[in-house]
Amino acid sequence: MRRITTYLAALGFAFATAPVLAQQPARDHPAVGASASTTVKATVEAVNMQTREVTLRKSDGDLVTLVVSPEARNLPQLAKGDVVTATYNVGLVVALGPPGKAPVRVDDTQATRTAPGEKPGGSLQQSVAVTATVTAIDAATRTVTLKGPKQTVSLPVSKDIDLTKVKVGDQVGAVYQESFALTVEPAKE
């Protein structure tokens, strides 16, 4: 069975902000990032094709019943004993760059699913890449005001960020990405 993988938010960030950040050496562009991931597994206990309900037994023994949408074209290949694995990832990368062009926003959604006849599976990934311009800095309250393509926001800045390196007119690039992947392994005989 084909494994579904997702790429890192940092890769998307690198492509989305390369034009802004390429204007000066990397050491001049502080960046921070955070990510989280969780994976859960459950065993198929029952599949009702008429109602498209699947009953799963979680690792703690509890049962949960889900209604599967018609878009899950491979539901007939699901069988009692199969192991369903769901993985959720989320990440954010933010970097400071020199003054640049007008702020931009790029939204992207990617989806995959297994081929007809295979065990059910697929992935969904959503990304938002934004550049914004620093319009104000308040060192006393440790806030920075950013004007993006759709809105202006004032955000708190953590104490480990040196605000003396941030100037009005600088660009801030950020990429937020979340992904969900589902795979099914056949029951062990």
Give the pLDDT of residue 97: 83
> Among 21-25, 90-94, 139-143, 185-189, which is the least confidently predicted range?
21-25
Q: Which domain holds residue 165?
A: 9-35+91-185
The end-to-end CA distance of the chain, in Å, is 17
Helices of type H across the chain: 9-21
131-156 mean pLDDT: 93
24 Cβ contact partners less than 8 Å away, ≥ 6 residues apart: 97, 98
Q: pTM value?
A: 0.71
For residue 73, tell me if it sits in a domain. Answer: no
For residue 122, tell me if it sits in a domain. Answer: yes
pLDDT in tens, 67-125: 999 988 999 999 999 999 999 999 999 888 888 788 899 999 999 999 999 999 999 99
For residue 153, tell me if it sits in a domain. Answer: yes
User: How many distinct structural domains can be found in the chain?
Assistant: 1
pLDDT in tens, 41-66: 999 999 999 999 999 999 999 999 99
pLDDT tier at 15 (50, 70, 90 boundaries)? very low
Give the pLDDT of residue 28: 57
Q: Are strands 63-67 and 53-58 parallel, antiparallel or unpaired?
A: antiparallel
